[in-house]
Amino acid sequence: MTLIYPVASNSAHPARLSPAYRSSIKRTPSKPLIPIRHTLSELTGPVYGHETVRKHDNDLTIQSKGEPLGERIIVHGYILDEDGRAVPNTLVELWQANACGRYIHVVDQHPAPLDPNFTGAGRTQSDAAGYYKFITIKPGAYPWGNHHNAWRPAHIHFSVFGHSFISRLVTQMYFPGDPLFPFDPIFNSVTDGKARARMISSFDLENTEPEWALCYRFDIVLRGRNATPMESK
């Protein structure tokens, strides 16, 4: 099946220059991007062998000798294209802060404790139906230096590939009802409310496991449409 990648779909993305997010000011091109017609270079993308993902890489709670502290959660959903078709066998990577809002990264100096039993990195591959699942710890909010009293809403960083190099997506998954939403320039860099809502996971009681872990549902929609749609009117 041949997919096409309408550039108009990119309007859901943030404006590259979002001055409220200070770091964007010197890291955004000042000249317009040049539109090109997609060639095979843009329309193809990497395929992974089974060696890329190991069996338990999607469970961030069993990577160390002991169990990490915090609220154990399940994060799952489908990777889909714009027509709602499954994106099978695609790589999904995630990284996140621990329950206290501290990253293991050496540059993170937030005075909250590190958890010796939590690295915060995981990966998996979507199955034939586009389904993926992680087990992890709910990350905490953390402060950053963008403006006075700036705090990031709790989030999990996601990296997904899809069918082509131009369906590549790096994003952040948020949690429903976070009181920090109105104050976060990164979240609000997406100006369309419906598009913003697609970055927020939903609480999934049906798949919450009794006596064990709450579940959040996060579906990810990548670029890509069928070149020959069924409806022809």
Partner 1 sequence: MSKPRPDGITPSQTVGPYFKYGLTPNGEYAWNDAFTSNLLTSDTSGERIRVEGTVYDGDGDVIADCILEIWQADAQGHFSDPQDAHAPPNSPFNGFGRCDTDKSGGYVFDTIKPGVVPDADGKPQAPHILLAVFARGMLLHLYTRIYFDDEAANTSDSVLALVSSDRRATLIAKRKAGTNNVYTFDVHLQGDNETVFFDV
By CB under 8 A, the residues from 182 to 221 that bind partner 1 are: 186-187, 189-190, 194-196, 198-199, 206-207, 217, 219-221
| Contacting partner 1 within 137-156 (CB under 8 A) | none
Binding of residue 93 to partner 1 (CB under 8 A)? yes
Q: What is the 3-state secondary structure (H, E, C) of 103-127?
A: CCCCCCCCCCCCCCCCCCEEEEECC
Among 52, 143, 176, 212, binds partner 1 (CB under 8 A): 52
Rule CB under 8 A: is residue 172 a binding residue for partner 1?
A: yes
Active site residue 152: yes
User: CA nearest 93: which of 156, 30, 3, 160?
Assistant: 160
Q: Is 157 annotated as catalytic? A: yes
Contact 175, 50 (CB under 8 A): no
Question: DSSP alpha helices (H): ranges in 67-224?
Answer: 193-197
Q: Of 119, 127, 180, 208, which lies in the binding site for partner 1, with binding defined by CB under 8 A?
A: 119
Given the complex with partner 1, which of 177 and 193 has the nearer CB atom?
193
Of the candidate residues 128, 170, 205, 230, the single one contacting partner 1 (CB under 8 A): 170
At 18, list the tokens: 């979002």
**Of 115, 84, 41, nearest in space to 221 by CA:** 84
- Under the binding rule (CB under 8 A), the answer on residue 107 touching partner 1 is yes
For residue 172, the SS3 value is strand
CB of 23 to partner 1, least distance (A): 3
If binding is defined by CB under 8 A, does position 25 make contact with partner 1?
yes
Q: Which residues contact 154 (CB under 8 A, 6 or more apart)?
A: 101, 138, 139, 140, 141, 174, 175, 178
* 142 among known catalytic residues: yes
3-state secondary structure of 23: helix
Minimum distance from CB of 164 to partner 1 (Å)? 8
Which listed residue (59, 82, 127, 178) binds partner 1 by CB under 8 A? 82
Question: Which of 46, 113 has the CB closer to partner 1?
Answer: 46
* 72-80/3-4 β-pairing: unpaired
Size of the site for partner 1 (CB under 8 A): 95
Residues with catalytic roles:
103, 142, 152, 155, 157
